[in-house]
Every structure is written in structure tokens, then in C-alpha cells.
Structure 1
Amino acid sequence: MVEIKTDAALEAMREAGRVVGDALDAVRRAAAVGVSLKELDEVARDVLRAAGATSPFLGYRPDFADTPFPGVICSSVNDAVVHGIPTDYRLRDGDLVGIDCGAQLGGWAGDAAISFTVGTPRPADLALIDTTERALAAGIAAAVVDARIGDISHAIGSVGRAAGYGILAGFGGHGVGRSMHEDPHVANDGRPGRGMRLRHGMVLAIEPMFLAGGRDSYRVAADGWSLLTDDGSRGAHAEHTVAITQDGPRFLTLPS
């Protein structure tokens, strides 16, 4: 079931989203060659703790996972597209890093993700990240009252396919509200004019996940969580939680 939020609920969700944006900002500033993924997780924990927020990631265990998730961020490096566990791995020059973070505050959730490079960037990685961010912007621009879910999917997929990138099969955006993952599912590729009609008060996490090698397939790492490109190419992920309003899409996970 899709919950339609009141305007007051959207204001409360903005506060949860603000914490997510601030945590992502702090992690990005802290990321440098030699810094470990666990240290980045601690940076995000500090932001959540200072805001009085909790993490919907920590202890999360969906049906596919053998173990609960151990961090407050997903930290995915190079060929890991999403769901990377924060480990003792220390960032190296040229790494492509994806950070996904959520926060729960006042009974509401927020969810967002960024991708960036550390040290000397590869031009191909910058192009991949730029395309992923452009696809996110296109998907958000399509998230207007009386449009349909398929319009968002088509907008995202069109950008990724035009660049020759793969789109992580079976994964996409989702509703957000009292919990981090709610209905509806928002695919990252699809036909326009299809699916649920968008209404004022719906809240969606829109999140393209592109694979540089052009294939849509992936494999699951030995840790049971990280989703890796099956050809060893690099992946990128970008996400915002967005409210559908009569005045257009409203970003809920921008930083303070």
C-alpha cells in the first residue's frame, strides 16, 4: 500500500532527510586515500548521533541476506555497485566510491546516496558519475503530479542507455515513509505512461545504479551483501528522497 503523506508529514520527513544529507556531506569530506570504510561509517554515525537520529541500515536484514547489515552506510568501491559493507579496506588513489545512507528521525525515514572518486580520478569514472547524476535529475524532473511511475523509469533509463551503461537488473527506487523501503517500486528503466499515477504527498527514493561495462547483470560478493558487476567494470549510484507536490518535486535529503 502506498501512503499519501500530509504536508506536516513532509516537513517532518525533511528533518530526517536533512540528517542524511549532512551525513553524506561529512563522509565525502572525510574520504581520502588511506581512510578506511569503517572510519567513514564512524563519521556517519557521529552525524546521526548528534541529530538524535537512528539508522535504518544498521541491523537491517532482508530476505536475501544471511546476516544483518553491520553499518550505518553502504560503502561500495569500484566494481561494487551497491550494498557494500564498511570494512577495514583503506581507500586507494583513483577509487570510485559509492556511499548510501539512511536516517530515522521522529518516526520518519530518509534515504540518499552519492558517488565520487578519491585522489586522481579516471576520466571514465567521472563520466559514469556524471551520467548517473544526470539520470537522477531526469528521474526527479519526471516526478510530478499526474505523471506515472513509468515516466520516472523511462527518464532514468534513457540517460543510462544513451551512454552505453548497464542498469543493475532488478533494483531501483522505492517509496519512503515510516520505513526506509515502502511501495511502490521505481524501476530504473521502463516505458513511459505506465504504472501508478503520481499524487501530491507521495514520497519516493529515486536512485539510478549504472554499470560501466554495459551489462545489466551482477554477482553477489562473498560477504552476502555487496552487489558486484559481473565483468569487473565499475558502478555508480546516486539517490535522493523526493516528495511529489503540486509545486513540483521537493528534495527531502539535501544537506543543511
Structure 2
Amino acid sequence: MTITPVRHSCTRGPLIAVEGITGVGKTYLTHRALEALGDQAPDDTAPGANPLLLDGFSQRADGRPGLGDALLRALREASAGDPFLRGGTPLAETWLLLAIKRYDLDTVTAELSHGRAVVEGRSVDTTAVCQALLLHPDAPDAALETARALLDFASAYRPLPDLTILITDDARAAIARTQQRDQRVLTQEQATFMGEACALYERLAATDPARYRVVDRRTVDEHQAAELIRAWIHDARTGLDCVREPWQGPEARCMCCGRRADLAPA
């Protein structure tokens, strides 16, 4: 007989990830969506008010204190300026990137516990996609299998996001935006890597439609995209389950509300 926890609605806020290759407009569209949420809920007590935005890797400034940023600086130094933090040891880099994402969760647990929504600018999905491609550069199916395995591994050490918003586009358009924004020309190898990552993100999202929502900029304009993101973030507050440290078993207390699970035979 299997013992399973009985579901309860939790008072915590949702953990939301925004994913996609560089140049698809993640930062711009997320800020537009959050500004719209703030306009609708001007005080901190209103549902959906003032989500906390946790910067993605590329937005973090060097020198900021904290274990997560110290680990990120080490990866940057080892990659010698590679925009995808590739230092030649993909498995070791995978564990460091997942350690950063665990650290990020630790830093926002108090906010989630007070009912605040937290939006991660890249989460464990980015690590799964990029590192799977490095491990299987010429085998898309093997990369997809590895990406899913890396997410399973990550979920043993921290809960996955309640909602993952994937922003996607034609890879060539994203590459053009990246080059214009950063005032640099990507090498052919870097552009190819971005195109493969774009395809793998979309394939990975299709394997878990309950967690992913996809904004395809090939079919919607920026106004529609920002509105979709706003609505998904707003609606993510409802029906949240308690979250527990995965290794502590089903009887562990919720990381946010402290409630212990009621167990029932399955």
C-alpha cells in the first residue's frame, strides 16, 4: 500500500520561471507584464500585487555579495567570456548551475511564504536545455531525453517552478536582436547553438503542457505577448499545493506555510 499526501491549498505565492533563448524578449516582455500587474494592483495587499523579479544569469552584476553570484563568477571566469558559460566541463558546470538555482530558491522562500509571487528570469529549464545540448551536440533526441533527466534530478533538490513561461521565436530573429543589443557578432557555432536550444526548449515544453505556457512571437505581437504573460502570472496564484523539501519525504512540513501533510493510502 502506497501512502500519499492529501492535497491542501497553500497560502504561498507561486514560483514562476520565464525561459527562452537570448534575444526573444524575455526581460522586456516580463517587465511589461509586471508593470501591468502593478497598475492593476497598486497596493501590496491586493492579489497578484508586486511580484518579485529574480534576475536571470545575464542580468546579474559582478561583485554583488552572495553564494549564487560567487558561483556564477567562477563559471564566467572558467568560460573565458563565452556567452553561454561553456567552460569545457559540461557535467561539472551543470551541478554548479543547479546549485545556483537552489540558492536562488533559498533567497526567495520567505517572499513566497508571505504570499508573494516570484518570477525567475531563467530557472532550471535553462540549465537542462543548454547542458543537454553540450552533452549531445549532434543528437536532438538524446538531448531531449537528457534535458528531462536533468529536470528530474533537479526536482530531487528543489521544487520545480509552478509555472514555466517559454517565450520563443524564429531563432534568426532572436540572433539578430541579440547582436544588435550586445553590439557583437555571434560566431556561426554560437548561432547554431542558439538555434538548437530554441528547438529543444519547444520540444521540452511539449512534454509537460501542465507546467509550461508558450508565447510564440511568430504568431503574436509584443502587446499580445505581454498580456498573455500578465494573465498567466496573475492566474498562477490559485490552487497552489504545499511544497516540501523533496528529500524529506511526504510527511515533511511545507517549506512556506509549515503545514504537515495529511497522509492517506493510495
TM-score by length of 1: 0.27
Which structure dedicates a bigger proportion of its chain to helix? 2
Which structure dedicates a bigger proportion of its chain to strand? 1
Higher relative contact order (CA 8 A, sep 6+): 2
TM-score by length of 2: 0.27
